[in-house]
Structure 1
Amino acid sequence: MPRMTLSDRVKGKVAMGAKMGASTVLTPEDEISLVNYIEYMAQRGFLLSVSQAIGFALCIAKEHPGARVFNESGPTEKWWRGFEKRQPEISLRRPDPLDRGRAAMGNVETMRDYLKLLKSTIETNDLKDKPERLHNCDEAGLSLNKSSGQRVVVPNRFKHAHSIR
C-alpha cells in the first residue's frame, strides 16, 4: 500500500469507505432518473439500445449548465460500462420480438373473453367429445423480425425482454 494513502487515512483526509477517483458526470439522482426511464420504456415494450440510453444520458447532462460535462463526443462506451457497474438493476439482453397484436391481446380480460367464446363455440357445435375435430394454428414458425440482433437495456427484474414491433 502506498505510504501517502496510509498518511492520508491517518490524517483523516480520506473518510473510511470513501470512493476514490473523479466524480461521475451525472449525479446519482440523474442516474436513477435514467434507470427509471429505461424501466418506463421497457414496461411499454420499447426497449432502448445502449446508444439510445447514452443519448438520453447526454440530454440529462446538458440540463445542468456549469456542472461537469462529457467530452465533445458525449458519453463513451467506457462511461456506459461504469454506469452498468453503478446500476446493477439493469442489464443487456437480446430482445424477444412481440407483435403488437399479441401484446394487445396478452391481458387477462382478453384471454378470459376468448376462452368463454371458445367454450361457447365448442358447446354450440357439439365438439365437446370430438377433440380430433379441433385444430390449432399460429405463427410460431414464422420469423417476421428483421432486427440486427442488437442487445437492449432491460431492468433485471423483467423476466422477458419483449420488444414490440
Structure 2
Amino acid sequence: MRKRERITRKLSQEAMAQAQQEVKAGKLNLLQAAQEFGVPKTSLSDRVSGRVSSDCVLGQRTLLTPADEDSLVEYLLYSASHGLPLTKPQVLAHALAIYNLRHQAAPKTGLGQTWWINFRERHHHRLTARTPDIIDRGRASCAKRGPIEEYFKFLTTTLEEHGLREKPCQVYNCDETGFQLEATRRKVIVPLGTKHAYRQAQGTRDHITDLACLNAAGEDIPPFIIYKGGYPGEPYNK
C-alpha cells in the first residue's frame, strides 16, 4: 500500500468513527453523517446497527490474518538472526502455503506483486531488504561474543609470553576471501536497521580464493590465489 493510500485509509477510519459518534448521540441521521464526513452510508449503517463491528477496517481484507502475518514476520526475523534470511520468492512461497492451509476449499496458485508490496508496507517498521554478504557455517558459529572474547584473551597472552608487543613486524595475520562465480545474489528480508546482512554459504559453490597476509606494521606478502580445480591438461572451464 502506498503512503498516500495509508493516509487516506487512516483518515477514512477517523471519519467513520466520528460519524458513528454523531449518529449515536442523535445529532445527525445516517444520511447527514455520511455526507458530512464523506463515508459510505451503508457502511456507516452496518456499524451503527451492530451488523459489523465498529472497529472493522475499511478496504479489502488481507489474504492472511493478522495472527498469521505476525507469525510469518517472526519466522523471517528468526531465520535472519541465524544466518538464513529468506528471499522474496521464499517469503511468497511461505505465505502461499499458509493461505492454502487456511483455505483448502479454494487454494491459490500464487501471490502477486501487489500482495508483496502491501506486506512490505504493513511491516516496514520491522523488516527491510538487503543484499547479503555470504558467510560460511564455521564463521557464523564463531561470530558470537563468547568465542571472540576468548580469541582476544588468547592473543593477548601469546603476545606477552613471546614479547611481541613491541615487534609489529613479527606479528602476521592471514585471511582468505572468496569471489563467487555465480549470478547476482537476490536481496533477503532482514530486521529493520540491519547494516550488514549475512547468509550462510551453500555446501558447494564455484569461486576463486584469495589468501592475503599482512603484519602489524602494514607490510604485506604477495597474495596466494587459488583457482577452481581441474585435471592437468584440461581447459579451466571444465
Same fold at TM > 0.5: yes
Match of 2:164, SS state, is coil
For residues 15-54 of structure 1, the aligned pairs below 5 Å read 19-54=57-92
Kindly state the Cα deviation for residue 10 of structure 1 after the two structures are TM-superposed: 9.4
Amino-acid identity (%): 32
Q: What residue is the counterpart of 2:121 in the other structure?
A: 85
Larger strand proportion of the pair: 2
Kindly tell me: are residues 33 and 134 of structure 1, through their superposed partners in 2, closer, same or farther at Cα, counting changes over 3 Å?
same
Q: 1:117 aligns with which of 154, 162, 167?
A: 154
Q: What residue is the counterpart of 2:136 in the other structure?
A: 99
What are the superposed Cα offsets for residues 64-116 of structure 1, whole Å, 9 maximum, x if unpaired?
1368x664x32112111111111222122111222222212212221222122
TM-score scaled by length of structure 1: 0.80
Kindly state the Cα deviation for residue 17 of structure 1 after the two structures are TM-superposed: 7.8
**Structure possessing the higher relative contact order (Cα contacts under 8 Å, 6 or more residues apart):** 1
Match of 1:74, SS state, is coil
Kindly tell me: are residues 114 and 120 of structure 1, through their superposed partners in 2, closer, same or farther at Cα, counting changes over 3 Å?
same
What are the superposed Cα offsets for residues 21-70 of structure 1, whole Å, 9 maximum, x if unpaired?
22111111111111011111111110101110111001111221368x66
Two-structure CA RMSD over aligned residues (Å): 2.8
Where does the alignment leave 5 or more consecutive residues of structure 1 unmatched?
none
Contact 2:132-2:199 at 8 Å conserved across structures: yes
How far apart are the structure 2 equivalents of 1:162 and 1:70? 34
What code does the residue aligned with 2:149 have? R
Contact 1:8-1:14 at 8 Å conserved across structures: no
The question of 1:59 aligning with 2:92 is answered no
For residues 61-76 of structure 1, the aligned pairs below 5 Å read 61-65=99-103, 71=108, 73-76=109-112
Q: How many residues align?
A: 160
Q: What residue is the counterpart of 1:148 in the other structure?
A: 184
Where does the alignment leave 5 or more consecutive residues of structure 2 unmatched?
1-34, 49-53, 202-238
